Amino acid sequence: MLDIAEELNRWVEQGRDFAVATVVAVGGSAPRQPGAALAVDSDGTAIGSVSGGCVEGAVYELCRQALDDGETVVERFGYSDEDAFAVGLTCGGVIDILVTPVRADGPARPVFASALAAAARGEAAAVARIAEGPAELMGRVLLVRADGGAGLEGVAHGDGPAYDEEAPYAATTGYEGGLGGHPELDRTVAGEARAMLDAGRTGTVEIGADGSRCGQPLTVLVESSVPPPRMIVFGAIDFASALVRVGKFLGYHVTVCDARPVFATPLRFPDADEIVVEWPHEYLERTEVDGRTVLCVLTHDAKFDVPLLRCALRLPVAYVGAMGSRRTHQDRNRRLREVGVTELELARLRSPIGLDLGARTPEETALSIGAEIVASRRGGSGVSLTGAHTPIHHDGTRRVGGRIGSVA
């Protein structure tokens, strides 16, 4: 749902009724991951996608039905080739879809509105909804923000009980809304949601019968919306301009850093989110990075590369790559060892940067770098799929509590 938050937030502001279908869990070679959503308003307008086209028509009708009867439902779609008119996934996978009506007069509407507004603003937020459990708990929602709930607006229970009637619910619990079962259940789910938000992950959480406080197990879908990951490109060269465009296409917030003001200009890098004129290692030492950040060193000049990579290889980032020939790579590694970089740290360095595509032009080189970043993130091998017997999708699909689950 949060993947289409910007448009849904506009629908909320316009007072529209809508139903949203969200992928809860996947198995096999399903085309979309948990959190992918399709929404339909009362006029029949549809946005988003849950399957890339395979079951969109059937899910559209489920949304229209949910708007009519107000019921939250979960539907499973699998593979079927026996009937040409059957609804199923041609890829052979399985997806579970949670369909929730979000009416203007619905008790959970304020919490949905807060979640969509936060995600549309680019703020970190996590939304938890029951995907499997008692019918009376379906359709309820709990919102957790990265700041622990500070600044949440008043009492918004999402059809859950107000456990402290003397004080604003969100202010006293650190989350907004509720799943309606018991305060202990909400606290448990809020803790799980906050952990998944910290990791930027979306997936399902299984709550046992004892922990659910309702006498039976629950499956809870947690959707995380986090700001785009960072790509920092060091070296304001023509290859960097192409890489900036690839980085933006892949969804990164892209920064270009170079110590030479004549090259690091908005005119040369119109697609960059940020341009920094500073010695690369000094900038990297003071800027914020995290486990999703990718660092691309395109300077291939020892006076920049060595202090920069010495810093980069000691940071908890997702990817560090450096451009240069194999001779440059050997010389750079020697210099890095001389300044105290260990073999374990050097093993993190992707150099020469990129996959072997036979790239020549800046655009082709940028594509090879982007491909290596995706392979590193998703666990891909980088080899051709033709003739291979490896999975096409590498997003840790697993079984959780006896049911198909996934964390993306």
CA distance 185 to 8: 28
- What is the number of H-type helices and E-type strands within the chain? 12, 18
CA distance 7 to 57: 20
The sign of the CA dihedral 199, 205, 211, 213 is positive
- Contact criterion met (CB below 8 Å) for 260 and 271: no
User: Edge-to-edge, what's the strand order for the sheet holding 18-27?
Assistant: 46-48, 37-41, 18-27, 94-102, 73-77
- Contact criterion met (CB below 8 Å) for 354 and 372: yes
Residue 18: closest CA among 106, 102, 110: 102
- The pLDDT averaged over each successive group of 10 residues in the chain (408 residues) is 91 95 79 85 92 80 93 80 45 80 91 92 90 84 73 33 37 67 82 86 82 75 90 95 96 96 95 96 95 93 93 95 92 94 95 93 96 90 77 47 41
* Domain boundaries defined on the chain: 14-102, 106-227, 230-378
Residue 37: closest CA among 132, 92, 104, 112: 112
Give the model's pLDDT for residue 156.
34
Residue with tokens 């290692």: 281
Non-local (6+) Cβ contacts of 77 within 8 A are 51, 54, 55, 58, 87, 88, 89, 94, 95, 97
Residue 124: closest CA among 64, 209, 201: 201
Strand 253-258 vs strand 274-277: parallel, antiparallel, or unpaired? parallel
Residue 317: closest CA among 288, 343, 337: 288
Give the model's pLDDT for residue 169.
39
230-378 is classed in which CATH architecture?
3-Layer(aba) Sandwich (3.40)
User: Tokens for 85?
Assistant: 């008119």
Non-local (6+) Cβ contacts of 168 within 8 A are 152, 154, 155
- Contact criterion met (CB below 8 Å) for 231 and 254: yes
Instruction: Answer left, alpha or beta for residue 154, where phi above 0 means left and psi between -120 and 50 means alpha.
Output: left
Exposed/middle/buried for residue 104 (C-beta within 10 Å: 0-12, 13-18, 19+): middle
Non-local (6+) Cβ contacts of 124 within 8 A are 145, 146, 197, 224, 225, 226, 227
Give the model's pLDDT for residue 317.
94
User: Residue 97: beta bridge partners?
Assistant: 23, 75
User: Edge-to-edge, what's the strand order for the sheet holding 253-258?
Assistant: 274-277, 253-258, 230-234, 294-297, 319-322, 349-350
